[in-house]
């Protein structure tokens, strides 16, 4: 029997993760991380989510605590999110929350309290290295439609060895069925879909960022520099965007192919103009030794993998060449590399094409 601290967000997945571990005889304690102190009607940071987690813990007859990590969340997730938009990057706050909060701050708190492991309700698996050299890796969960290995890529080494994913072998339907059998109050609760600190009812991302940084009107130009229109806030535009540009006429549809925040300019082009042969990644995190050669790359949380070749540039950055041209990856987005279903590494996109570093 192990003493396990289960991160309970108030959703059905983490509820069932706690239930599974408790049923296996482990000494389970639930914890909800209070991350965001502002208004929230999406994601996993609302007052009702904390209450749901507490009540599920009561149903399971396990202790439940709330850890206030608000200062760390603001420093490592919210502030970089705002800074990235101000610089014209497209951040991935869920990846940074996992990197700094769930699998760093929470693990350190678990250590201090004498827990053997931390568990979450992520749909992913922890697998042994196939080469027999020891160690563990993150692999895709059984439910491909709900797989969350992409947002977990920063987790590796000793931290991963002390983290459990009890739902990795289950489908989402399995999870909901089990929750219903146990009578858990979260059995039919919808999945969270959005950034937890962005509210729908109070103006969304535009209002959130506008309260923190100046948003500037920008020109929309074509590849030759001809002005086609304007956007209210260049900081809110991302590569690949099509909606909200309001520029009809010949040559459409138009896609954003570049965002120049200092120059207050959005460059648009055709779907073909959006294609790139390569993308550069920095801040690489490797599951083991740096990978080179053929790989499968995923560029968004629920996107398809694409075949590519990794050309190592340095220990923390690589050049990724696509086997076939792909849509440009927005600067700031994570790209995760796989060997089959197993994560081998991941990094943050810095751009596509152009001269090397």
Contact 203, 215 (CB under 8 A): no
335 φ/ψ angles, rounded to the nearest 5 degrees: -125, 125
Look up 196 and say whether it is catalytic. Answer: yes
Whether 331 contacts 350, CB under 8 Å: yes
Spatial CA neighbour of 97 closest among 24, 187, 162, 35: 35
Q: Which of 44, 45, 94, 97 is catalytic?
A: 97
Q: What are the beta bridge partners of residue 128?
A: 136
Rg of the chain on CA atoms, in Å: 21
Q: Which of 44, 45, 94, 196 is catalytic?
A: 196
Dist CA 40 CA 34 (whole Å):
12
Can 97 be counted among the known catalytic residues? yes
Joined tokens for residue 34:
């209070």
Contacts of 123 (CB under 8 A, 6+ apart): 13, 141, 142, 143, 146, 147, 148, 165, 167, 168, 170, 172
Q: Which residues are catalytic?
A: 97, 196
């Amino acid at each position: 029997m192990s003493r396990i601290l289960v991160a309970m967000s108030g959703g059905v997945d983490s509820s069932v993760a706690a239930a599974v571990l408790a049923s296996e005889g482990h000494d389970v304690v639930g914890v909800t991380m209070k991350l965001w102190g502002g208004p929230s009607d999406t994601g996993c940071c609302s007052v009702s989510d904390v209450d749901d987690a507490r009540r599920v813990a009561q149903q399971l007859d396990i202790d439940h605590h709330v850890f206030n990590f608000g200062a760390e969340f603001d420093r490592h997730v919210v502030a970089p999110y705002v800074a990235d938009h101000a610089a014209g990057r497209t951040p991935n706050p869920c990846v940074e929350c996992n990197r700094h909060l769930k699998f760093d701050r929470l693990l350190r708190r678990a250590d201090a309290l004498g827990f053997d492991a931390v568990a979450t309700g992520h749909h992913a698996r922890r697998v042994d290295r196939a080469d027999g050299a020891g160690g563990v890796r993150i692999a895709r969960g059984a439910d491909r439609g709900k797989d969350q290995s992409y947002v977990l890529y920063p987790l590796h080494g000793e931290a991963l060895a002390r983290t459990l994913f009890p739902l990795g072998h289950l489908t989402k339907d399995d999870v909901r069925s089990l929750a219903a059998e146990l009578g858990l109050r979260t059995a039919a609760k919808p999945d969270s879909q959005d950034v937890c600190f962005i509210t729908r009812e109070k103006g969304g991302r535009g209002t959130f960022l506008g309260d923190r940084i100046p948003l500037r009107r920008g020109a929309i130009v074509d590849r030759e520099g001809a002005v086609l229109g304007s956007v209210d806030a260049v900081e809110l535009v991302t590569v690949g965007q099509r909606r909200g540009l309001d520029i009809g006429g010949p040559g459409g549809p138009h896609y954003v192919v570049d965002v120049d925040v200092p120059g207050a300019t959005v460059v648009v082009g055709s779907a073909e103009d959006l294609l790139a042969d390569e993308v550069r990644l920095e801040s690489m995190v490797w599951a083991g030794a740096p990978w080179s050669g053929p790989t499968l790359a995923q560029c968004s949380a629920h996107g398809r993998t694409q075949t590519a070749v990794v050309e190592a540039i340095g220990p923390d950055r690589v050049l990724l060449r696509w086997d076939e041209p792909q849509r440009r990856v927005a600067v700031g987005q994570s790209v995760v590399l796989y060997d089959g279903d197993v994560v081998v590494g991941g990094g943050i996109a810095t751009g596509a094409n152009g001269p090397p570093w």
